[in-house]
Amino acid sequence: MVNKIFTGLVAAGIPLSIAGKFLHWDKGLMFVIYCLTIIALSSFMGRATESLAIISGPRIGGLLNATFGNAVELIISIFSLQAGLVGVVLASLTGSVLGNLLLVGGLSFFIGGLKHKRQSFNVYDARHNSALLIFAVVVAFVIPEVFSMSMTKAQTLHLSVGISIILIVLYLAALLFKLVTHRGAYNVPGDTAGHEEETPEWSKAKAITVLALSTLAVAFVSEALVHTFNHIGETLGWTELFIGVIIVAIVGNAAEHASAIIMAYKNKMGVAVEIAVGSTLQVAMFVAPLLVLVSLFLPHSMPLVFSVPELVAMIAAVFLTISISNDGDSNWFEGATLLAAYFIMAIGFYLL
Amino acid sequence: MVNKIFTGLVAAGIPLSIAGKFLHWDKGLMFVIYCLTIIALSSFMGRATESLAIISGPRIGGLLNATFGNAVELIISIFSLQAGLVGVVLASLTGSVLGNLLLVGGLSFFIGGLKHKRQSFNVYDARHNSALLIFAVVVAFVIPEVFSMSMTKAQTLHLSVGISIILIVLYLAALLFKLVTHRGAYNVPGDTAGHEEETPEWSKAKAITVLALSTLAVAFVSEALVHTFNHIGETLGWTELFIGVIIVAIVGNAAEHASAIIMAYKNKMGVAVEIAVGSTLQVAMFVAPLLVLVSLFLPHSMPLVFSVPELVAMIAAVFLTISISNDGDSNWFEGATLLAAYFIMAIGFYLL
Amino acid sequence: MVNKIFTGLVAAGIPLSIAGKFLHWDKGLMFVIYCLTIIALSSFMGRATESLAIISGPRIGGLLNATFGNAVELIISIFSLQAGLVGVVLASLTGSVLGNLLLVGGLSFFIGGLKHKRQSFNVYDARHNSALLIFAVVVAFVIPEVFSMSMTKAQTLHLSVGISIILIVLYLAALLFKLVTHRGAYNVPGDTAGHEEETPEWSKAKAITVLALSTLAVAFVSEALVHTFNHIGETLGWTELFIGVIIVAIVGNAAEHASAIIMAYKNKMGVAVEIAVGSTLQVAMFVAPLLVLVSLFLPHSMPLVFSVPELVAMIAAVFLTISISNDGDSNWFEGATLLAAYFIMAIGFYLL
């Protein structure tokens, strides 16, 4: 049923987006149309990636998921960078981290917990992810923030590039670890998350076609979306920060959000956590550093230096997520705690 | 025996407090009398609450403990707010957090550990509490601190009010979780903390009378105490910060301190930890936000913005407590570590 | 074989150091000679301490290791303090913490993990060490940093002295706990780390002679080394910070590094972790506070106040190490994560 809604949204959204863009419809209306269209398109991209992953087997599949999983966010960000909106890009990266950990994680735990008294997931994976969250946010994001305070712009950029390369290398090493050298080494008895036999929804040819077309469409709509930010901000009194942290992040990750919550409801908490935390790590260790490197070829280079509120919010979110998820057990109250933290931060960014 | 001392202190303290106040005795002497009287009265309030809790059954009882447990602190704080001493209130909230986690927790672990080689307590409760400590201190206290740096006073107050409401709602949700939806769901085999059959010390009528009278008396003495702070600070060279963080916090929590340590000595470490950490959470998630909301109706409103040393000390205390208590096992050395941290902070606040 | 190399290095290094110093050879060359000689000498000191520890039994042995383990670092630091290089001393203390946790810990996990799929070590020791890391770095180092921002120099020094005394007392209490009151209380079945029968390499007389002569030689070479820093910094464009954090720290700890990695390769991961983390705690809880106290008798007193980048790097390293080592299980990827964090910080200090 969800799929039908998304199909309808795409069928209506793409012509409306094209029409609205060239006929200069009201920017507030177009902002809504663009957002809904991107959400629907990203659900198609998710399904296509999923089919390809099943067809290609776990190793290549894991790699596909790990690289295409945040393709929408990457595309929006590159267009934003080209438009010189470095602040929006950093804000939307922050928003992805906060949204995945607190909103998606929180909704999964909360809604899953309303149906199931206690839910469990692989404690080894939780710890592996905890260490990487600390590495990415508390080491790799904090160091340039603090060190750049007594650095020139050039030094800050050198440091950012160095850290970005290290982040991507470690991200690839994590894939090697999970998919090759230690595949299945940390399984918990009875934990079958993702190990069921799966049949692809689409054939290889269809999946590739859908992926290519959706990506093109997302690129087109994203480019248009980015140019409505200014108007939306002025009309609704939203700051660039709030648009980036809350709105862009929700639009860019909505499809993933939906599937994580559905998995939690089905008591497949391992998959839900993998989506929420795995997606965060992908953003922090792959999308963010890749954007730093890509920005070197664009007019405005982007150092890996977040604003202090952004960084502090991410650190707080990481510590809260770790302290809640590290035992491999969840319930509705833990979900409520994560959601409460998200609301606190959303109010903060709204008022800032 | 402890009870007899407190009865004597109340019998002597109340007339002396009244006499001293109206006859304008030396403020240094009165400061000592007020402090001792409040400590003794709060022990009566504790016993009355305990009796009422046993009579009303675990659900209402838990609610009573969770709301009346820090009544003394709430009363002192409201009088301080009315006297415009916002800084003292924030400092005494900080002091409650530090005192409960490091001093009470430390003394419990240390004294209990001198008698028993290893003591254990429910590891699930410890983790539940850890997550809430992170939520309250690292999320809800840190966000307004950092965000308010680039906010107007009005925005800071809006953010404080929003966060306060979220804190209180989550505190009530935690009670719902513990007392209703998941009561007993996380019990550890052989863990009988607080599940023994208990007989109330006083009848319902007597308990309510004692609670009402003690509360009135505490209110009277607290109001008088608050007006000695200035004089004490000048005479002894103590800063407002030191009075708030160390002195008020010890006076306001002394009765609880005593019972936690007695429980630890009796090897009921679960109860001792529940008092130390539970009381901290009550202060952070209920008393502090309630004071923010109450202050809106007083001449001086209080934003949820601590001074940087206060906040950093609380964060450090939270991380240390979590790393020590998260395994559900304690010994004398872990107590010594918590006490050492308390001394370091006390020296810091004394010199500041 | 390693021992033979070190013997050769000492045999060549000491005469070359003496000759070079008095004949004023090129300072760049002398810097290299001094560093290699110190590394070789400290390996002799390590072997002598080890022999004495085995001869004296576990209690006195533990004490010997705990006090002589970082003798080289202590000696270099005292000479640096005497030369007024307070900044270099704080930097080299930082470097010891970062180097032991991230470089030694990382290399041990990585190289051990290349040979063994999963390695384990005592989870109780890991948690005990975690709590002390938080205590030392997040409490005892952070409090003076933050509080000193609104303190006079005299107050900062008072606070530093108070904290230093508390650190040393707690360090001695930790030895009492580990070697006397709770010796063996937290053993894990099958964990034999360090409990094998050992025969001393040297007799008591020989060990004492070697220890005394090596210490004298280290003192002589260290004093000479310190006076090459200025020249090296100017020639290579290295900052005082980079020399202290990276170079001095590696030279001062090289011998320990080697033995930790060898132990990890032999699958004695408990010993490797004990060297890496135990050595960090020794630096943070014994060497650093001792240097603060010693500095009171020298022309330049040293407060316990690191630079912000130093402190933040140490905090990040502590949280990463804890999140990786707290489960008592390691693999090559966890080592790679620690090493990646070290490289990020090294780049940061190089560019700063």
CA distance to partner chain C, nearest, from residue B320 (Å): 6
Amino acid (one-letter) located at A28: G
The contacts of residue B312 (CB under 8 Å, 6+ apart) are: C142, C143, C146
| Separation of alpha carbons B35 and B41, rounded Å | 10
The β-bridge partners of C329 are: C120
Whether residue B186 contacts residue B179, with contact meaning beta carbons closer than 8 Å, is answered with no
The CATH class of A2-351 is: mainly alpha
| DSSP letter (8 states) at residue C352 | -
What are B345's two structure tokens? 């902070």
Which range is most confident: A2-11, B141-150, B236-245, C12-21? B141-150
pLDDT value at residue C139: 96
At B119, give phi and psi (nearest 5°): -120, 150
Strands B119-120 and B329-330 come out as antiparallel
Residue B199 CB coordination number (10 Å):
7
One digit per residue, the tens of pLDDT, for chain A of length 352 reads 778 888 888 888 899 999 988 888 988 899 999 999 988 888 888 888 888 888 887 777 777 776 777 887 888 889 889 888 898 899 989 999 999 999 999 999 999 999 988 888 888 888 999 999 999 999 999 999 999 998 999 999 999 999 999 999 999 999 999 888 888 777 766 555 455 567 888 999 999 999 889 888 888 888 888 888 888 888 888 887 888 888 888 887 777 777 788 888 888 888 888 888 988 999 999 999 999 999 999 988 999 999 999 999 999 999 999 999 988 889 999 999 999 999 999 999 999 8
pLDDT value at residue C225: 87
Over the Cα atoms of chain A, what is R_g? 20
Using alpha carbons, select from C17, C98, C44 the residue that is nearest to residue C284. C98
pLDDT value at residue B189: 61
Concatenated DSSP letters of C122-191: -HHHHHHHHHHHIIIIIIIIHHHHHHGGGS-HHHHHHHHHHHHHHHHHHHHHHHHIIIIITTTTT--TT-
Chain A environment of B185 (Cβ under 8 Å): 117-118, 331
Whether residue A140 contacts residue C344, with contact meaning beta carbons closer than 8 Å, is answered with yes
pLDDT value at residue A247: 83
The contacts of residue A149 (CB under 8 Å, 6+ apart) are: C308
pLDDT at C59 over 80: no
Is the CB of B344 less than 8 angstroms away from the CB of C162?
yes
Taking only the tens place, the pLDDT of each residue in C122-169 is 888 889 999 999 999 999 999 999 999 989 999 999 999 999 999 999
Chain A environment of C352 (Cβ under 8 Å): 147, 150-151, 155
| Separation of alpha carbons C92 and C75, rounded Å | 12
Taking CA atoms, C50 is separated from A250, B161, C43, C282, in Å, by: 59, 61, 10, 16
Mutate which: B123, B128, B139, B158, vs A, most A CBs within 10 A: B139
Nearest Cβ partner for A336 among B146, B147, B170:
B170
The contacts of residue B124 (CB under 8 Å, 6+ apart) are: B186, B188
At A18, give phi and psi (nearest 5°): -65, -50
HEC string for B75-113: HHHHHHHHCCCHHHHHHHHHHHHHHHHHHHHHHHHHHHH
CA distance to partner chain C, nearest, from residue B184 (Å): 27
Average of per-residue pLDDT across C196-225 = 86
Is the CB of B144 less than 8 angstroms away from the CB of A337?
no
Average of per-residue pLDDT across C174-196 = 72
Concatenated DSSP letters of C4-51: HHHHHHHHHHHHHHHHHHHHT--HHHHHHHHHHHHHHHHHHHHHHHHH
Nearest Cβ partner for B143 among A316, A324, A332:
A316
Average of per-residue pLDDT across C279-305 = 94
| Separation of alpha carbons A308 and A246, rounded Å | 17
Using alpha carbons, select from C152, C89, C150 the residue that is nearest to residue B308. C150
pLDDT value at residue C111: 93
The H or E element spanning position B329 is strand B329-330
| Separation of alpha carbons C140 and C165, rounded Å | 11
The β-bridge partners of A120 are: A329
What are A46's two structure tokens? 């998710």
Of the candidate ranges B185-194, C168-177, C249-258, the one whose mean pLDDT is the lowest: B185-194
Q: How far is CA A33 from the centre of its chain?
A: 21
pLDDT value at residue B199: 84
Using alpha carbons, select from B291, B292, B300 the residue that is nearest to residue B159. B292
Distance from first CA to last CA of chain A, Å, rounded? Answer: 39
Taking CA atoms, A89 is separated from A83, A137, A148, in Å, by: 10, 16, 19
Residue A340 CB coordination number (10 Å):
22
| Separation of alpha carbons C105 and C102, rounded Å | 5
| DSSP letter (8 states) at residue A180 | I
Q: Is A292 exposed, middle or buried (0-12, 13-18, 19+ CB in 10 A)?
A: buried
Of the candidate ranges A1-10, A103-112, C35-44, C334-343, the one whose mean pLDDT is the lowest: A1-10
What are C97's two structure tokens? 């913490």
pLDDT value at residue A327: 86
What are C306's two structure tokens? 């690191």
| Separation of alpha carbons A79 and A85, rounded Å | 9
The β-bridge partners of A338 are: none
pLDDT value at residue C281: 93
Taking only the tens place, the pLDDT of each residue in C92-132 is 899 999 999 999 999 999 999 999 888 888 888 889 999 99
pLDDT at B200 over 60: yes
Amino acid (one-letter) located at B345: M
Number of inter-chain CB pairs under 8 A, A vs B: 85
| Separation of alpha carbons A129 and A321, rounded Å | 10
Q: How far is CA C39 from the centre of its chain?
A: 13
| Separation of alpha carbons B130 and B139, rounded Å | 13
Mutate which: C323, C325, C349, vs A, most A CBs within 10 A: C323
The contacts of residue B305 (CB under 8 Å, 6+ apart) are: B90, B144, B145, B148, B156, B160
Residue A301 CB coordination number (10 Å):
18
At A188, give phi and psi (nearest 5°): -105, 135
| Separation of alpha carbons A118 and B13, rounded Å | 51
Nearest residue of A to residue C352 by CA position? A151
Chain A environment of C118 (Cβ under 8 Å): 185
- Domains of chain B, by residue range, sit at 2-351
pLDDT at B66 over 80: no
pLDDT value at residue A190: 54
pLDDT value at residue C113: 93
Q: What is the mean pLDDT of chain B?
A: 88
Nearest Cβ partner for A117 among B131, B135, B185:
B185
Mutate which: A124, A133, A143, A150, vs C, most C CBs within 10 A: A143
Is the CB of C147 less than 8 angstroms away from the CB of B343?
no
Give chains near C: 3+ CB pairs under 8 A: A, B
Is the CB of A166 less than 8 angstroms away from the CB of C344?
yes
The strand ranges marked E within chain A are 119-120, 329-330
Is the CB of A134 less than 8 angstroms away from the CB of C352?
no
Whether residue A113 contacts residue C318, with contact meaning beta carbons closer than 8 Å, is answered with no
The contacts of residue A197 (CB under 8 Å, 6+ apart) are: none
B256-271 burial, b if ≥16 CB within 10 A, otherwise e?
bbbbbbbbbbeebbbb
CB-side neighbour CA atoms (13 Å) of B270: 14
Whether residue C262 contacts residue C109, with contact meaning beta carbons closer than 8 Å, is answered with no
Whether residue B93 contacts residue B247, with contact meaning beta carbons closer than 8 Å, is answered with no
| Separation of alpha carbons C82 and C302, rounded Å | 11
pTM over 0.90: yes
Mutate which: B124, B142, B147, vs A, most A CBs within 10 A: B147
Number of inter-chain CB pairs under 8 A, A vs C: 86
pLDDT value at residue B228: 87
Is the CB of A351 less than 8 angstroms away from the CB of B181?
no
Nearest residue of B to residue C186 by CA position? B118
Residue that the structure tokens 């407190």 belong to? B6
pLDDT at C197 over 70: no
Is the CB of C163 less than 8 angstroms away from the CB of B320?
no
Whether residue C177 contacts residue C336, with contact meaning beta carbons closer than 8 Å, is answered with no
Distance from first CA to last CA of chain B, Å, rounded? Answer: 39
